């Protein structure tokens, strides 16, 4: 920590937000209600929002991107940890007045930027122009993504971010940035599911290739307003210094998706669909022989390494068969040039 940072931290240690209405009061004052179509659920218990932020680790003097802050419950807890910069991205304009109120109240403590937009379109690599870039093999980047994610887009967001992580772009252009996110309990359990777990799936394997994911704790559904039908899991995701493969993310994702597309059938059945009918049997057999994987295993029985060996075999085969990588068994017709 630099001397100026140390002084800044000491100065902030006795600082606090000025008195503000509670989140519940703000929700009533601005007549805010959760919109089911946007998968909105408010978390107003300060003990729980503080616990979520603590799960992210030490964020003091770091850079934080909050996803879907809503009325600002988690936002307040983030501010109390004194990050250097906080960027909140909120799609629903109804919440802008409460977020601007927090921005104004905390201006002596940190830089807070309120962005009205869709997180799916937001360029995370542009969030912190003054943030230093760190070496991927060194300590983690001083960048954290925190959010109570809308259930409807949580899986899509995570896959998008894993892709950026693998390419070291977006929020990962700064280095090994961390994620602390909420998911439906079932999805959270899938993310961290080990080999042989019944809920092991594409998300489990994709996360384990590029990161270390850990379920921190569960939040009962009754803690949210309105109460969702499920409990919620808080998961932290830390990028690995050395990913388990150098094969491009898009190739790996395609193969893993096919492997898990028929969970209760032999994994061979999913892999077969990677190849056009006229060469399907030949190339499927070759894939499993190159990968040294049992084609009669079921997907959840495969280790992450075995899944990767299948992906690496497929990657090698399409290099010798240009055009085959575009084959899509769901499309009406596909023409593949054989070389």
Q: Which domain holds residue 308?
A: 249-326
Gap between the Cα atoms of 312 and 244, Å rounded: 11
Same domain, 165 and 94: yes
**pLDDT > 90: percent of the chain:** 75
Query: Using one digit for the tens of pLDDT, what is the confidence trace for 228-287?
Result: 788 999 999 999 999 999 999 999 999 999 999 988 889 999 999 999 999 999 999 999
Confidence of residue 337 (pLDDT cuts 50, 70, 90): very low
Structural domain contains residue 259:
yes
Same domain, 103 and 177: yes
Structural domain contains residue 333:
no
Query: Using one digit for the tens of pLDDT, what is the confidence trace for 141-170?
Result: 999 999 999 888 999 999 999 999 999 999
- For residue 16, what pLDDT is reported? 74
- For residue 190, what pLDDT is reported? 97
Same domain, 190 and 261: no
Give φ, ψ of 25 to 5 degrees.
Answer: -65, -40
Give me the number of domains the chain comprises: 2
Give φ, ψ of 19 to 5 degrees.
Answer: -55, 130
Query: Using one digit for the tens of pLDDT, what is the confidence trace for 78-105?
Result: 999 999 999 999 999 989 999 999 999 9
Q: How far is CA 55 from the centre of its chain?
A: 15
Structural domain contains residue 227:
yes
Domain final residue, candidates 239, 261, 280 = 239
- For residue 1, what pLDDT is reported? 46
Residue whose C-alpha is closest to residue 313's, from 241, 266, 259: 259
For the segment 10-37, the average pLDDT, to the nearest whole number, is 60
- For residue 11, what pLDDT is reported? 46
Inform me whether the pLDDT recorded for 215 exceeds 60. yes
CATH of the domain at 279: 1.10.8.100
Same domain, 32 and 125: yes
Q: H/E/C letters for each residue in the chain?
A: CCHHHHHHHHHHHCCCCCCCCCHHHHHHHCCCCCCHHHCCCEECCHHHHHHHHHHCCCCCCCEEEEECCCCCHHHHHHHCCCCCEEEEEECCHHHHHHHHHHHHHCCCCCEEEEEECCCCCCCHHHCCCCCCCCCCCCCCCCEEEEEECCHHHHHHHHHHHHHHHHHCCHHHHCCCCEEEEEEEHHHHHHHCCCCCCCCCCHHHHHHHHHEEEEEEEEECHHHEECCCCCCEEEEEEEECCCCCCCCCHHHHHHHHHHHHHHCCCEHHHHHHCCCCHHHHHHHHHHHHHHHCCCCCCEHHHCCHHHHHHHHHHHHHHHHCCCCHHHCCCCCCCCCCCCC
- For residue 18, what pLDDT is reported? 67
């Amino acid at each position: 920590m630099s001397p100026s940072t140390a002084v800044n931290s000491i100065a902030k240690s006795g600082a606090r937000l000025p008195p503000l209405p509670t989140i519940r009061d703000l929700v009533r004052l601005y007549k805010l209600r959760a919109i089911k179509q946007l998968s909105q659920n408010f978390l107003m218990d300060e003990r729980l929002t503080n616990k979520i932020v603590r799960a992210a680790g030490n964020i003091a003097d770091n850079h934080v991107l909050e996803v879907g802050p809503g009325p600002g419950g988690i936002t307040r807890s983030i501010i109390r940890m004194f990050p250097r910069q906080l960027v909140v991205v909120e799609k629903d304009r109804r919440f802008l007045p409460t977020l601007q109120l927090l921005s104004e109240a905390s201006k002596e403590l940190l830089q807070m930027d309120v962005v009205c937009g869709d997180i799916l379109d937001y360029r995370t690599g542009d969030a912190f122009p003054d943030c230093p870039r760190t070496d991927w093999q060194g300590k983690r980047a001083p960048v954290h993504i925190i959010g109570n994610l809308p259930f409807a887009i949580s899986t899509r967001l995570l896959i998008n971010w894993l892709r950026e992580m693998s390419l070291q772009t977006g929020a990962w252009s700064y280095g090994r940035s961390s994620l602390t996110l909420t998911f439906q309990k079932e999805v959270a359990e899938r993310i961290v599911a080990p080999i042989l777990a019944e809920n092991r799936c594409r998300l489990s394997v994709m996360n384990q290739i590029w990161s270390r994911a850990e379920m921190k704790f569960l939040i009962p559904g009754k803690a949210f307003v309105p109460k969702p039908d499920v409990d919620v899991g808080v998961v932290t995701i830390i990028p690995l210094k050395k990913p388990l493969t150098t094969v491009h993310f898009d190739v790996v994702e395609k193969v893993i998706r096919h492997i898990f597309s028929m969970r209760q059938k032999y994994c061979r059945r999913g892999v077969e669909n990677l190849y056009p009918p006229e060469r399907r049997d030949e190339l499927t057999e070759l894939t499993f022989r190159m990968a040294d994987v049992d084609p009669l295993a079921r997907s959840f029985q495969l280790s992450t390494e075995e899944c990767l060996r299948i992906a690496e075999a497929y990657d090698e085969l399409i290099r010798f068969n240009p055009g085959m990588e575009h084959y899509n068994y769901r499309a009406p017709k596909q023409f593949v040039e054989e070389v």
